[in-house]
Structure 1
Amino acid sequence: MTFNVLLQYLLPHRALSRVVYWATRWTFSPWKNFLIGQIVRHYDVDMSQALQPDALAYQHFNAFFTRKLRPDARQADADPATVISPADGRISQAGPIVDGRIFQAKGQSYTAAELLGEEAAAAPYRNGRFATVYLSPRDYHRVHMPLKGTLKETVHVPGRIFSVAPFAVEAIPRLFARNERLVCHFEGEHGPFAVVMVGAILVSSVATVWDGLVIPPYAPSIRRKSFAGQDITLARFAEMARFNMGSTVILLLPEGMAELDALAPQQAVKVGQRLGMLGQD
């Protein structure tokens, strides 16, 4: 076990995340400008696509981090029968779910039931398809709908807040099924699908367009919230949520809904980019 991986087990995840949550919202100009400048330079962030291209004009670091893009910066694939990427980032893994197991990396896997927090919810995905997208600090951090869907339920699953950087994903067993996460269950025109917002160290914070800030507070136990009868329907490509700091999005599709394209690990993707086709499984 490397020193970086050992630290993931030893660090006080939630305490650190609370400190960073506060620090990234401090409006003191020298502080927020220092943080923003560090990220822009270190990760070569392209601000030309942002609605506000002046990185230092943002009120605080988190406002910069969750910045909106220009309306023409991203476009959905023109074919309405395609499944599109919910996020900018890189493909961590993608492909078939085999007998309920989802591949993580280098021999690591976890079950759909572990990820979703219950066996019953995982049943439609037993032999379905999945795509895991890793968002680095340089990426656009708003998450969009891969398909049109009506929100049925969210499930806030408590857990650790390990890093989701590639080194951690390769070394920490069942990482995505252990981290704090928000599971969003939708019913689409071709069946159910789930979008899982997986938290990460230094700040596991998620906000949705329908509920605002959901994480934090961190959950002491599984929290379910039903949206049945509320008719919250989001169009394909519509914004659905955002990460306040980086993390990972996992898309689950049931058996028979779609076939994914040949998506290679570490392949760069953008919101709206084609991931696969409906009705091809």
Structure 2
Amino acid sequence: MIKDLLTALPQYLLPQHTLSRLMSRLTHSEHAAWKNFFIRRIIRHYGVNMDEALEPNIEAYKSFNHFFTRELKPGIRPFPDAPDAIACPADGAVSQAGAITGGRIFQAKGKSFTAVDLLGGSEERAAPFQDGVFTTIYLSPKDYHRLHMPLTGTLREMAHIPGRLFSVNTATANVVPGLFARNERVAAIFDTEIGPMALVLVGAIFVSSVETVWHGVVTPPTANAVQTWRYGEDAPILRIGEEMGRFNMGSTIIVLFGKDRAAWREGLASGLPVRLGEMIGRMR
């Protein structure tokens, strides 16, 4: 715990958004020597599997961010055929998974936050998820950083919720209260055949931007208040497995379903490595 505190405490003092803007400039630089050096270091340090990338040649990427949000080879992450399957939306590791109890979502070691806070302070937005289920998936630097649909859904609403930019690693999650409901985030609410589904894309320090396929870059810039977009007759419909967004640098996605609408598979728990497209639960 002391080690975790020492990791997290300096983050309260850091100019988090300023550092993230600086990182954005660096990761979008098209200076060949710089971006190739940075890419090679990341591949070597984290063990990135470039055999899965559609473009394995690092010199073909125009910037580090272009590499970081690289496409995978077609078919490398198959989605389940079962009609009741809920698919994993990302490569990564499960941070937590379970029930939303009393409106609260478990974070780590006795810490939790409310669904209302996570979804921007709206009781109306959070109501469908009362007593439902959630899973939180952390994407590390080695992972594929595009996010895909766990189920087919029609987009109803998107909210950009301003906040801090703490790291979202395990050490920080263990000690920063309400971490995922404090960080800047984008919440997308979809209507599915089992009711509302929320996909919450949580920013973090050095995450230079969050974007969606229907809107483009949502942040930066950040804002002083929650911004919302509602979608009507022309609302995008995204099929299971289709790309819905991406992190320009890595972070966390949280998936929410309503009461008695979904059940996670046995063994879906903290620390479990998961891959995009694998079945993580079933519809009810």
Say yes or no: does 1:278 pair with 2:283: yes
Say yes or no: does 1:72 pair with 2:75: yes
The residue identity in structure 2 corresponding to 1:51 is L
Q: Counterpart of 2:34 in 1: which secondary structure? A: helix
Q: Counterpart of 1:236 in 2: which secondary structure? A: coil
Residue correspondence of structure 1 range 23-38 to structure 2 within 5 A: 23-38=26-41
Deviating runs (4+, > 2 A) in structure 1? none
Among 168, 175, 178, the alignment partner of 1:171 is 175
User: Any conservation in 2 of the 1:180–1:204 contact (CA below 8 Å)?
Assistant: no
Quote how far apart the aligned CAs of 1:80 are: 2.1
The residue identity in structure 2 corresponding to 1:18 is R
Say yes or no: does 1:213 pair with 2:217: yes
Residue ranges of structure 2 left out of the alignment (5+ in a row) = none
Residue correspondence of structure 1 range 200-279 to structure 2 within 5 A: 200-262=204-266, 263-279=268-284
Q: Counterpart of 1:94 in 2: which secondary structure? A: strand
Q: Which residue of 1 aligns with 2:187?
A: 183
User: Whole-Å Cα distance in 2 between the matches of residues 66 and 276 of structure 1?
Assistant: 26
TM-score (norm. length: structure 2)? 0.96
Among 39, 43, 52, the alignment partner of 1:40 is 43
The residue identity in structure 2 corresponding to 1:79 is A
User: Any conservation in 2 of the 1:36–1:56 contact (CA below 8 Å)?
Assistant: no
User: Any conservation in 2 of the 1:161–1:204 contact (CA below 8 Å)?
Assistant: no
Quote how far apart the aligned CAs of 1:272 are: 0.8
- Root-mean-square deviation (CA), in Å? 0.9
The residue identity in structure 1 corresponding to 2:139 is L
Among 193, 198, 202, the alignment partner of 1:198 is 202
User: Whole-Å Cα distance in 2 between the matches of residues 8 and 175 of structure 1?
Assistant: 12
Identity %: 49
The residue identity in structure 2 corresponding to 1:265 is S
Q: Which residue of 1 aligns with 2:25?
A: 22
Q: Which residue of 2 aligns with 1:125?
A: 129
User: Any conservation in 1 of the 2:102–2:131 contact (CA below 8 Å)?
Assistant: yes
User: Whole-Å Cα distance in 2 between the matches of residues 228 and 183 of structure 1?
Assistant: 17
TM-score (norm. length: structure 1)? 0.97
User: Whole-Å Cα distance in 2 between the matches of residues 19 and 203 of structure 1?
Assistant: 10
Quote how far apart the aligned CAs of 1:204 are: 4.3
User: Any conservation in 2 of the 1:88–1:135 contact (CA below 8 Å)?
Assistant: yes
Among 11, 20, 29, the alignment partner of 1:8 is 11
Q: Which residue of 1 aligns with 2:93?
A: 90
Say yes or no: does 1:99 pair with 2:105: no
Q: Greater shift after overlay, 171-180 or 213-222? A: 213-222
Quote how far apart the aligned CAs of 1:98 are: 0.4
User: Whole-Å Cα distance in 2 between the matches of residues 48 and 15 of structure 1?
Assistant: 35
Q: Greater shift after overlay, 53-62 or 63-72? A: 53-62
Deviations 1:138-163 (A, max 9, x none): 00000000110000110000000000
Q: Counterpart of 1:150 in 2: which secondary structure? A: strand
User: Any conservation in 1 of the 2:265–2:280 contact (CA below 8 Å)?
Assistant: yes
Q: Greater shift after overlay, 228-237 or 110-119? A: 228-237
User: Whole-Å Cα distance in 2 between the matches of residues 3 and 34 of structure 1?
Assistant: 30
Quote how far apart the aligned CAs of 1:56 are: 3.0
Q: Which residue of 1 aligns with 2:115?
A: 112
User: Whole-Å Cα distance in 2 between the matches of residues 80 and 244 of structure 1?
Assistant: 32
User: Whole-Å Cα distance in 1 between the matches of residues 58 and 49 of structure 2?
Assistant: 10
